[in-house]
Amino acid sequence: MAADTIITKLQNGNVIITKGSRSMSYYPDMQVLEDEGDSCHVRDKSSSQQHVFHVEEIIKLVRKDGTEILSPDKATLFSELSTFFFFKLGGGSSTHLGVFDNYTDLITQFPTAGTGDLAYVENSQGTFWLPGGMGGDFYSKGVYMFNGTNWDSSVDEIAKQLEENVNDILSLQLALTNHVNDLANPHDTSDANLFVSDITTNNVSTTAHGFAPKLPGDNTKYLDGDGNYTVPAGGGGSSTGVQYHLKSGDNVVIPDGFEYLVYRKLILDSGASITIDSGGELAAHNGIVTNNGTIINNGIIEID
């Protein structure tokens, strides 16, 4: 037997067998069988058309995508013929019609087929989201089955389920948003669930309630009416045991009508200051004033 046979898969799905100067065309709806010895043969449903391929005669197989397999052995020949060239599913009523580039290629070659017939599409097409079976323009790659009217893909069913899942999520999200925004149904939390950090957001102000500012670590200062920690007039004391001790950066203002009373000692460190407004009074009783800072007197100073 001469080694002169080439088997070629055409773009339209048909198979051309070229033997020497002769060519024969076969539809892909054929069943591939292994014979005894070194041959395979194909046949249609009625066995009216069949062809025997002897391994030693085959010099080349050419797939639809142009891939070439040279001088295949019997196992390779059977695998190639039953996978890429002929697609009759043995023992059943469904026919595998072939491998197609995309969905358009499939419906162009097979706008109709037998109910249950199968086809494989190698590449998806269209914009991914809504599959063609649901009114969109996306057609996935994979297996398609003809349902008697249209080509169905398993991806359509997956997409339908995903769409239902998304709708469920959106519905739950809307319900949660409405629940959180329901002022008639306030949502309490425990103190343990509060999280605070070193920022001034939501601190108390002259326009709104809020958190107290972070403590300054200075027990001579108190939170004033502007939301700042300052040393109040008439106040004082420190961890050193001195009752009235103004440190650097402390600035005390004694306004009109107020009296700053000192018992024991009053100490001003460098950088501290006392401003006595007109009508204000600084009084040191039974003590002394040690001034290393600044005293601006526009009112009264009384020391005894």
Looking at the structure of the chain, the number of domains it has is 3
* 230 within a domain of the structure (yes/no): yes
pLDDT (tens digit per residue) in 230-278: 876 544 443 333 347 788 888 888 888 887 777 667 888 888 888 888 8
Q: Are residues 234 and 293 in the same domain?
A: yes
Q: Are residues 81 and 110 in the same domain?
A: no
* 65 within a domain of the structure (yes/no): yes
- Domain hosting residue 252, numbered range: 222-303
* 281 within a domain of the structure (yes/no): yes
Measured CA distances, 288 to 9, 243, 251, 254 (Å): 113, 12, 19, 19
Q: Which residues, listed in sequence order, are joined to residue 253 by a DSSP beta bridge?
A: 275
Residue 242 confidence (pLDDT): 39
Q: Are residues 52 and 129 in the same domain?
A: no
Q: Which of 30, 57, 85 is the last residue of a domain?
A: 85
Q: Are residues 97 and 183 in the same domain?
A: yes
**Contact between residue 26 and residue 18 where contact means Cβ atoms under 8 Å apart:** no
Q: Are residues 181 and 125 in the same domain?
A: yes
* 144 within a domain of the structure (yes/no): yes
* 216 within a domain of the structure (yes/no): no
Residue 136 confidence (pLDDT): 65
Q: Which of 27, 52, 85 is the last residue of a domain?
A: 85
Residue 240 confidence (pLDDT): 35
Segments of the chain scoring below 50 in pLDDT: 89-93, 234-243
- Report the C-alpha gap between 84 and 10 in whole angstroms: 11
Q: Which residues, listed in sequence order, are joined to residue 245 by a DSSP beta bridge?
A: 267
* 207 within a domain of the structure (yes/no): no
Q: Are residues 175 and 122 in the same domain?
A: yes
Q: Are residues 49 and 113 in the same domain?
A: no
Q: Are residues 81 and 97 in the same domain?
A: no
* 201 within a domain of the structure (yes/no): no
- Report the C-alpha gap between 185 and 176 in whole angstroms: 13
Residue 38 confidence (pLDDT): 83
Q: Are residues 183 and 129 in the same domain?
A: yes
Residue 241 confidence (pLDDT): 36
Which of 123, 128, 67, 120 has the alpha carbon at shortest distance from 97? 120
Residue 62 confidence (pLDDT): 92
* 192 within a domain of the structure (yes/no): no
Give the count of beta carbons closer than 10 Å to the beta carbon of residue 278: 10
Q: Are residues 287 and 229 in the same domain?
A: yes
Give the count of beta carbons closer than 10 Å to the beta carbon of residue 70: 8
* String of DSSP letters for the chain: --S-EEEEE-TTS-EEEEETTEEEEE-S--EEEEPSSSEEEEE-TTSSSEEEEEGGGEEEEE-TTS-EEES--HHHHHHHIIIII--B-TTSS-BEEEEESSHHHHHHH-SS--TT-EEEE-S-BS-SSSBGGGTSSBB-SEEEEE-SSSEEEHHHHHHHHHHHHHHHHHHHHHHHHHHHT-TTS-----GGG----S--TTB--SSS--BPPPP-S-TT-EE-TTS-EEPPTT----TTS-SEEEPTT-EEEE-TT-EEEEEEEEEE-TT-EEEE-TT-EEEEEEEEEEESSEEEESSEEEE-
Residue 261 confidence (pLDDT): 76
Q: Which of 85, 119, 139 is the last residue of a domain?
A: 85
